[in-house]
Amino acid sequence: MRTAPTILHLDMDAFYASAEQAAKPSLRGKAVIVGGLGPRGVVATASYEARVFGVHSAMPMAQARRLAPNAAYLVPRFQFYRSISDQVMELLRALSPLVEPLSLDEAFVDLEAGGAAWDEESALLVGARLRADIRDFTGLTGSVGLAASKMLAKIASERAKPDGLVLIEPGTERALLGPLSVRTLPGVGPATGDHLRRAGITTVDEIAEAGEDELVRLLGKAHGHALYAMALAHDERPVVAEREAKSVSVEDTYDVDIHDRVRVGLEVRRLADRCVRRLRAAGLSGRTIVLKVRRYDFSTLTRSETLRGPTDDPAVVREAAGRLLDSVDTTGGVRLLGVGVSGLADYTQEDLFAQAAGEGVEEPEEETRGEVVMGEPEPAERRWHPGHDVRHSVYGLGWVQGSGVGRVTVRFETPGSEPGRVRTFRVDDPALEGVEPVPLVTRRALAGAGPLGAGSGDVGEAGAGPPGRP
């Protein structure tokens, strides 16, 4: 393990909710909850104002509504979040060629590989400047952890939340880790945590005291060795530059189980088209079509078919997904459907209709009690999603505050305006239309520097640290 805290972990603060607050003046300082709004939806992100009421991510949305009935509940806008994430990731890549994104709002950076930092002082300077640049470019805040390993850098960023910076000094790791819960360590989820608890092991110190042989006996050779090393603060995992996508997929969870086989088929076709749109947007094609079905009893089945060559043709994906659906019994009802494409390539094969039908492969998954659709909401005809941007031919830009019983309520405001007025329209009002997300107004934009580009060179200069580098 390295001797300087030159691994950085960035975690944006309440990312989705904070982005919505920045985009909607009337929600700043208010409780905002983003996630699936149906009976089976779950919370994707809750603002810090909402967390005061006990709301947290992965909580069933129905429970969140009971805890915070007056919060703003919004449907995710992943295109909008992705655009902000792209700016943040570009700031990180200006610091180092080794950036490992974990999600839209989280990443590791090897500062030593880019020459941005080499000791505690230079690492702190880079971390402080990065936080300032993120605020300037996006208007949002991120928490930064600095340490000599990925595990400790992530622990540091968690301690820095919200909007802070924490550096763990080399040599202090064992004392820091000792009293922490075993769940702090990477790879220790609920099942492993319960297994260790039954063995009387609840803290990291107790893992170290148990010894490597006992951990191997309890967890198996690979997991036992790795966990013992991490309990001793040994984490040699390198920061790996972002990997190529292994698959592209979309899925929807339905508020009410679907029993009609015809509708199930139509939903699968619709999901296949959405998946292909995403595939083409990434300039990719794929050979393996995957269908995911979660049934009424929470059992989850996957079926797959591998084609002779990669494709991005919607007709081919629809037909393959339809064949896979034929092998699944949906009699009792369906709560979730998904279509994906794997075996990705950056080219297509012209002979698209000469596929050999493969045998379906069933892969049972763990039971899930609630889901949020982690994909772009399907633009249904005259369907208005709370939080999404709209334009009225008379009143201009705004966002959907809510809809129901044939009416849609819109608050007319934009990121750079004052809190706006609320007006209600018929859901089929021809003067109202959905629009692409309105960009945030940031300090950098107001200064005329635009997004990232010519102005981003100063990030690298910030990472260069003070004079006198050895």
Q: Where are the chain's structural domains?
A: 187-231, 247-345
Q: What is the mean pLDDT of each run of 10 residues along the chain (470 residues)?
A: 92 97 96 89 94 94 95 93 94 94 93 93 97 94 96 95 95 92 86 89 93 90 88 91 77 88 94 91 86 89 88 91 92 92 66 34 31 39 84 96 92 95 95 92 63 39 37
Output the pLDDT for position 346.
58
Token duo for residue 384: 């208005």
What pLDDT, on a 0 to 100 scale, did the predictor assign at position 189? 81
Would you state the pLDDT for residue 446? 62
Q: How do residues 364-409 score in pLDDT, each as one tens digit?
A: 333 222 333 333 444 444 679 999 999 999 999 999 999 988 999 9
| Helices 190-198, 212-219: inter-axial angle, 10-degree rounding | 120
Residue 460 confidence (pLDDT): 35
Residue 322, classed as helix, strand or coil, is helix
Phi-psi region of 274 (alpha: psi -120 to 50; beta: other; left: phi over 0): alpha
* 187-231 against 247-345: fold identical: no
Angle (CA) 456-458-461 rounded to 5° is 135
In CATH terms, the fold of domain 247-345 is Dna Ligase; domain 1 (3.30.1490)
**pLDDT score for 371:** 34
Query: Taking the chain, what is the end-to-end CA distance rounded to the nearest angstrom?
Result: 20
The pTM of the whole model exceeds 0.75: no
Hey, which residues are catalytic here? 106
pLDDT of residue 243: 63
One-letter amino acid at 28 equals R
| Strand ordering across the sheet containing 72-74 | 43-46, 32-35, 72-74
> What is the reported pLDDT for 454?
35
Pick the CATH number of 187-231 from 1.10.260, 1.10.15, 1.10.150, 1.10.10: 1.10.150
pLDDT at 353: 35
Q: Is 331 exposed, middle or buried (0-12, 13-18, 19+ CB in 10 A)?
A: exposed
The pLDDT value recorded for residue 33 is: 97
Distance CA 269, CA 109 (A): 40
Cα gap 133→299, rounded to integer Å? 46
Nearest CA-CA partner of 235 in 120, 153, 350: 153
Task: Output the pLDDT for position 231.
Answer: 92
